[in-house]
Chains A and B, each alone.
Chain A
């Protein structure tokens, strides 16, 4: 599948934003961080900015962005529609939490209520993002039970790394965030490794012979293509990364997204001076960003679509 930059930016940026929002909401509700208005302003500000940037980037993928509001109507059948609704709903408790944290509570319990409602809303939004892909049986690499869980865990992991940086910059205790992030990253690594194994060993049950119904005569070989230049179907669905490149990129993304940030989390458990904490947390955030962008690019580039059987023959 063609890795569209707008969709990669959308899923990674809004994923990290929802992850950071979830951790800040939990921290606020459990009093793991002081209700410092400046921390709240910058923390939730970064989270909502990432979410909003991502959502705006996703509209760049549309042919008619001005009609995007129409996407909220078909929640009964469409995961894309559900995602849009969940994304907008999440702003309500996140706003209540943010306003209460920064300006003080207008109503008693506003922070706790906002925080505890923001968590399921944000989790639900990321789950819907994953399900957009996981609900497509035409793409074997996406039609996998681990796709949506990986989206959720990677959102929490990338948001967790941002939380460490935020706490380090504001001089608060980072150790609980380092532990939580390292554990989430480790879970993400485990699930992603299982996912890669699953798509490598999945049986390619759809064949060009079944796609054309001509298997009764033997093996099918494409002879003349229907058009001389690639059409929309081939450009959108025919993108394929070379196998050996994919393996290198998988290793690269595993190191950047999982290994280095987990090591950084362990280093941050030591008693480090503040500037060193900020430096380590910044490096971890940079590494995570590069790693998750690579991971998401691969998620598209490695996915083969059944329709290419008509063009390439073989199995998918």
Chain B
């Protein structure tokens, strides 16, 4: 079971748009909320209202600053399981509790056979797995396997909780193995990329890069012109320049 399937019929995964993510943590909290009662239950916290609270979460949102020049920016960066095509977390598992589904490529942990040795968390470069101290087993993103196939849900709800919760539409769910799917088209159009491709685990989830800034030189040129007006001239010119600046605020 720990051996990987040669190929999967589908490659279900997420596409995360770093251009539109605003770092609101809605995906992280909705993930916690859903999974604390779903497949991953119990998803425990320790000392949640004490001085050193911590707990098991399957999705974490970092915020970074990147660059120093005109293209520098703040980027919010959600991080969860990438459902790799050749995941080391599965092959190192001594019990077969960790497995990759041949049908849709989802990487799951069987909570009834996991011994909690934590070796899979060592093997993952993405920090996708978090050990549940109280439950004694490893937890990870299930791609909401208990939502996406649930026929009692309305079709728009048959997506992972994080995708449903995202207020900016920065998270997309679909079959990345099908080149015609909406997510594959999006990746193609926006030049989506893999995290740490050189490690060779072939992540299925893709990230879309922040869009390039619009040319800032055009915006700064009129300022120079205003300065020139300032320095020259009549009271009327200076008044209009002042009015222009004030109204532009």
Contacts and interface: CB of A to CB of B under 8 A. Distances in A.
Q: How large is the interface on A (under 10, 10 to 19, 20 to 34, 35 or more residues)?
A: 35 or more
Contact of A220 (B66, B94, B138): B66
Nearest to A233: B127
Contacts, number: 206
Interface size class of B (residues with CB under 8 A): 35 or more
Interface of B: 1-3, 18, 23, 28, 52-57, 60-69, 71-75, 77, 79, 88, 91-97, 113-119, 121-127, 130-133, 135-138, 193-196, 198-200, 207, 209-210
Main secondary structure of the interface of A (DSSP, over half): mixed
28 contacts: A61-B118, A63-B114, A63-B132, A67-B114, A70-B95, A70-B97, A72-B94, A73-B96, A76-B3, A138-B123, A138-B125, A205-B198, A214-B209, A217-B73, A217-B75, A218-B68, A219-B66, A220-B65, A221-B65, A222-B64, A223-B74, A224-B63, A226-B79, A231-B55, A231-B130, A306-B125, A306-B199, A307-B125
Given A80-B117, A132-B119, A233-B127, A74 B198 contact: no
A217 B130 CA distance: 30
Interface of A: 1, 61-65, 67-68, 70-74, 76-81, 84, 132, 135-139, 205-206, 209-214, 216-233, 235-237, 305-307, 310-311, 313
Contacts of A68: 115
Contact of A138 (B1, B122, B131): B122
Given A76-B3, A210-B196, A221-B66, 20 more contacts: A62-B116, A62-B136, A64-B136, A64-B137, A70-B95, A72-B94, A74-B1, A136-B92, A136-B122, A210-B195, A212-B64, A216-B209, A217-B72, A219-B66, A220-B65, A224-B62, A229-B53, A232-B54, A232-B121, A233-B130
Contacts of B119: 78, 80, 132
Given A61-B117, A222-B62, A307-B127, A211 B195 contact: yes
Given A67-B113, A224-B62, A225-B62, A237 B67 contact: no
B219 to A, nearest CB: 19
A64 B199 CA distance: 30
Nearest to A226: B60
Q: Give me the 9 closest cross-chain CB pairs, A-B, nearest first.
A: A63-B116, A63-B136, A218-B67, A224-B63, A226-B60, A71-B94, A307-B127, A81-B94, A217-B67
B52 A229 contact: yes
Contacts of A65: 115
B94 A78 contact: yes
A228 B53 CA distance: 9
A71 B92 contact: no
B54 A74 contact: no
B69 A218 contact: yes
A107 to B, nearest CB: 34
B124 to A, nearest CB: 7
Nearest to B74: A223
Contact of A76 (B2, B23, B125, B200): B2
Contacts of A213: 193-195, 207, 209
